[in-house]
Amino acid sequence: MLFVLYLMKENNNNGELLDPATGHWNIPYALSVSALIYGLSFITIFGFAYIIGYLWKRDADSSSDGEPLSSYEKVIQEALGKQHDDAKALRELLIATTSTDTAPMAMDYFKSHLDDTGLLASLFDIAAEGEDMGDAPWAAANVIEQFPPDLLLNHRAQLEELAGHPWMYLHGPARRALAKL
C-alpha cells in the first residue's frame, strides 16, 4: 500500500492510469493498483473462508462443556458407547489409557467395571498377545492389576503366565496383581 502511495506521489501525472502527454498506460501505477486489489481480495476471501471453517469445525468438535474434542477423543467416546463387548472398542479404550489427554476418561470407564468378569477375561486375552501387538496388551495388564483380589483369584494361572513374560510392561503389573492374592 505504501508503494502505491509512493508511486502516486512520485508520478508526474498524479496517479493517472493514462499518461496525459502520451495517452499510454502508466504501467507501474496500473500494475501496483491491480496487484493491491488482487492481494486484498485474495486475503479477504480466504480469510473469511478460514474463519467460517474454523467456527464450523469448532462447533462440531465441542464437548458438552464447550471444550474442543480431539479426533481421538471422538473415537474414545464412540468406544465408550460400544463398551467392552466390542473387541475393537475395548482395544481403543485400552490404548486411550496410554494418552495423557484420554487416560482419565478411559480409566474412569475401567474403574466403574472392576466387578465385570467378562471384561477381566477379555483383558487377559489381550494381555496374552504380548509385546508385538502394540499398546493394548500392556494397557490390559495395567487394568488387570486394578481388579480386586477375589476376581483375580480365578485367573491365577494366567497371572503367573504374564508374570513370567520377559517384557516388563506385562510382567510388572501381573506380579503386582499376584502380590494382592
Q: For 107-134, what is the HEC assignment?
A: HHHHHCCCCCHHHHHHHHHHHCCCHHHC
Looking at the structure, do residues 54 and 97 belong to the same domain, yes or no?
Answer: no
Beta carbons of 131 and 163 less than 8 angstroms apart: no
What pLDDT sits at residue 96?
86
Looking at the structure, do residues 82 and 169 belong to the same domain, yes or no?
Answer: yes
What pLDDT sits at residue 137?
93
If one compares 106 and 25, the residue with the highest pLDDT of the two is 106
Closest alpha carbon to 84 in 75, 97, 93, 73 = 93
Number of domains in the chain: 2
* 65 is a domain residue: no
| 111: pLDDT strictly greater than 70 | yes
Looking at the structure, do residues 89 and 167 belong to the same domain, yes or no?
Answer: yes
The whole domain housing 15 covers 2-60
Looking at the structure, do residues 84 and 168 belong to the same domain, yes or no?
Answer: yes
SS3 6: helix
Element (H, E) at 91: helix 87-96
Would you tell me how many other CB atoms lie within 10 Å of the CB of residue 94?
27
Looking at the structure, do residues 76 and 36 belong to the same domain, yes or no?
Answer: no
pTM comes to 0.59
Looking at the structure, do residues 52 and 18 belong to the same domain, yes or no?
Answer: yes
* 66 is a domain residue: no
pLDDT digits (tens, 9 = 90+) for 112-149: 899 999 999 999 999 998 877 788 999 999 999 999 99
| 62: pLDDT strictly greater than 80 | no
Question: 87-92: long-range contacts (C-beta < 8 A, 24 or more apart)?
Answer: 87/122, 90/119, 90/122, 90/123, 90/126, 91/126, 91/136
| 49: pLDDT strictly greater than 60 | yes
